[in-house]
Structure 1
């Protein structure tokens, strides 16, 4: 872990580097560009080749999609407890999603024309669910579950299979419970390309959702235009910002929980209490040996974890807004003072008793959130992202008459006389 105090010489340069921009590494960018080109030109064959290369699995046209028999077997294989957990999570997801769906409206403008908006679900969306070290069952729910709540009729899921071509049964059960209509056993940048561009057997989608590693995120970035995307959600991040009221045991547990994701995860802790920082370090050392995935956690603690003793809580807030973390845990006796000043993060967890893990699995808001500093520009997955917006305009003769002088003036300014004529002609006898 990198532990720094505002009094240390290396503190200021390190803090400046926390002001990030979500830009791709040149090597990642070039490799993803090559993968996209292969899928665009070779379609299914490229998927088979790339899956064998990266995942060690041999797929064919018959095994590319998860079959009905595989979905049925997964439903039989999962425990009753898993089914209850999935149902409870989906219940909260749907309840939260329904509140944020946009609704049709109409009104009269100043000239008497009727204007409004109509919102309809996308016809077909793609959701990406990472595989890797753990089956992210919750991610299936927090992507497809929102599409299901929005009424999307076709939901295509993509998730990598194991070397034997199988997908975790609990993950398959969750996908089916969340309304997925098709699922392909492909991961990585090639899965994003297949969903965006389509192949001989895979019909393209209107929009792609879901988190992934740096290659998945870069594929989404490069394919904007061919398809729309939700956001740029990469490896997991957390920043915990606490004053002296923070519970060291709880903070250490949240640090270790987010480090459990492994890989390129980033974990940060900032406090204006030097005593609390010392307690957190000791609590981490105490809790770590008791955890099953301590190997992955140690890697993240070594490479991607920083603990900062800041000069003031206000400085901690500034660091948060510059860092734009995926998750922020905000612990302070002056919550009403500091919360309004937090502007750039994916999700905020308030107080000592709000573990991020509850948000990961159950609370209701999607855990698919912006990372890598992209929280300045993106928000997490919302139900209204699964809706297509269309504006509506209706005029009658009177509203045309009232509109004409303004239309004719803009037509004169812009040299577009046909625009003015198209309006004036409606008032000629």
Structure 2
């Protein structure tokens, strides 16, 4: 469907104002969270039966080490090697991306930042018929690179009572020993509040459906969360030089995601028509200039942005809002989804305007460090005293004065 940037403003505004909020879903999820917080494992067993059709005993919520090891045998040598290679790519990127602790000392005052890994995290891996090994890798490997001591995974069970064996097996290859067969909002609640058999975590990571996203948003504050990654998105920005067949292939690839968004933005009417012949049913926005196309990209703030123009690097700095940018004809989103290195857990729903994709530092926290000498306290203490007195915090002022005597 070819849209005109100026004439079809109402439709295009729908892309810009999209949201993952759903009040009906929020109400249902609130009840689930409350039940898990109050009843613990009993609620997990009840919801697993209701939503997944799997009957469990309390002692079966966590997979045994034998079950984990057995599932790993389902992964053949070739796939095992691919997992190892992707793990290496992700780890190399995350190590380069990691911030380092620092300090500076000047005239008796030491200031710095100390970066420490989180103690314990919970990672949610969606279920379904498609084993999302990549989502597990893109969350677990950064956690390992950050130095997180305790990593727990939750993934919904299939009919035979286990998460997909590839998910379990990949977790085993990464050295994860704590895996739970629970899914949906109830898994998020278990991580947030803890139950008799699920130990509470400090922060929750991972993508999921609208119920998982709602649950993550509602437990934030009780625990930390990474971001709210909803349905997947791609916007492709092109000029007349782009390859229509490549564009069509990438739009079709995006269509494999449920409820996803795939849009082509171009100022070339001829290319728009050519792409529409190759890939019917997708939204194609035709603008008047490349500048207008860039403006529209920044307004939509997509999860993924492919730039297929004659000189893509030339306009890179003009892109303000996107989870990840793929430059040039030979950089499809699939590369970032699986093997390039950066995590594919990215902001969706327009949240790229104020948030970024998952990184190793999301599994760490920074702590300010301050050390002042007695001499330096005498020099800068007056500023502290004045502000404390203005705010009528007299004991704050006294804590400085007593050290100046």
Is 1:259 equivalent to 2:236 in the alignment? no
Is 1:279 equivalent to 2:274 in the alignment? yes
Superposed CA deviations along residues 314-373 of structure 1, whole A, max 9, x for unmatched, are 222111111111101011113244211111110000011001111101000000001111
**Does the 8 Å contact 2:20/2:230 carry over to 1?**
no
Q: State the partner residue of 1:297.
A: none
Match of 2:247, SS state, is: helix
> How far apart in 1 are the matches of 2:24 and 2:290?
38
**Does the 8 Å contact 2:115/2:366 carry over to 1?**
yes
Is 1:405 equivalent to 2:401 in the alignment? no
Q: State the partner residue of 2:143.
A: 147
1:131 to partner: Cα distance: 1.1
Alignment of 1:311-326 (within 5 A): 311-326=288-303
Match of 1:37, SS state, is: helix
Q: State the partner residue of 2:54.
A: 57
Question: Which of 56, 61, 82 pairs up with 1:85?
Answer: 82
Q: State the partner residue of 2:309.
A: 332
> How far apart in 1 are the matches of 2:19 and 2:381?
47
**Does the 8 Å contact 1:140/1:178 carry over to 2?**
no
Match of 1:425, SS state, is: helix
Q: State the partner residue of 1:291.
A: none
Stretches of structure 1 lacking an aligned partner (at least 5 in a row): 286-300
**Does the 8 Å contact 1:97/1:383 carry over to 2?**
yes
Q: State the partner residue of 1:223.
A: 219
**Does the 8 Å contact 2:303/2:352 carry over to 1?**
yes
Superposed CA deviations along residues 143-179 of structure 1, whole A, max 9, x for unmatched, are 0111011111110111111022122222112222334
State TM-score, norm by structure 2. Answer: 0.96
Match of 1:200, SS state, is: coil
Stretches of structure 2 lacking an aligned partner (at least 5 in a row): none
Is 1:239 equivalent to 2:235 in the alignment? yes
Question: Alpha carbon RMSD of aligned pairs, Å?
Answer: 1.5
> How far apart in 1 are the matches of 2:129 and 2:273?
31
Q: State the partner residue of 1:293.
A: none
> How far apart in 1 are the matches of 2:268 and 2:52?
46
> How far apart in 1 are the matches of 2:316 and 2:344?
20
> How far apart in 2 are the matches of 1:28 and 1:116?
44
Task: Give the 3 Å change call, closer, same or farther, for CA 60–15 of structure 1 in structure 2.
Answer: same
Is 1:124 equivalent to 2:120 in the alignment? yes
1:197 to partner: Cα distance: 0.9
**Does the 8 Å contact 2:112/2:369 carry over to 1?**
yes
Superposed CA deviations along residues 192-240 of structure 1, whole A, max 9, x for unmatched, are 1111111111001000111111111111111111001111111111111
> How far apart in 2 are the matches of 1:181 and 1:421?
52
Q: State the partner residue of 2:162.
A: 166
1:21 to partner: Cα distance: 5.5
1:23 to partner: Cα distance: 4.9
**Does the 8 Å contact 1:18/1:322 carry over to 2?**
no
Q: State the partner residue of 2:64.
A: 67
Match of 1:330, SS state, is: strand
Structure 1 runs (4+) greater than 6 angstroms displaced: none
Match of 1:119, SS state, is: strand
Is 1:364 equivalent to 2:341 in the alignment? yes
**Does the 8 Å contact 2:2/2:272 carry over to 1?**
no
Question: Which of 344, 350, 353 pairs up with 2:327?
Answer: 350
State TM-score, norm by structure 1. Answer: 0.91
Q: State the partner residue of 2:4.
A: 5
**Does the 8 Å contact 1:15/1:319 carry over to 2?**
no
> How far apart in 2 are the matches of 1:105 and 1:179?
31
1:16 to partner: Cα distance: 2.1
Q: How many residues align?
A: 405
Match of 2:271, SS state, is: helix
1:283 to partner: Cα distance: 2.1
> How far apart in 1 are the matches of 2:121 and 2:31?
24
**Does the 8 Å contact 1:271/1:277 carry over to 2?**
yes
**Does the 8 Å contact 1:154/1:181 carry over to 2?**
no
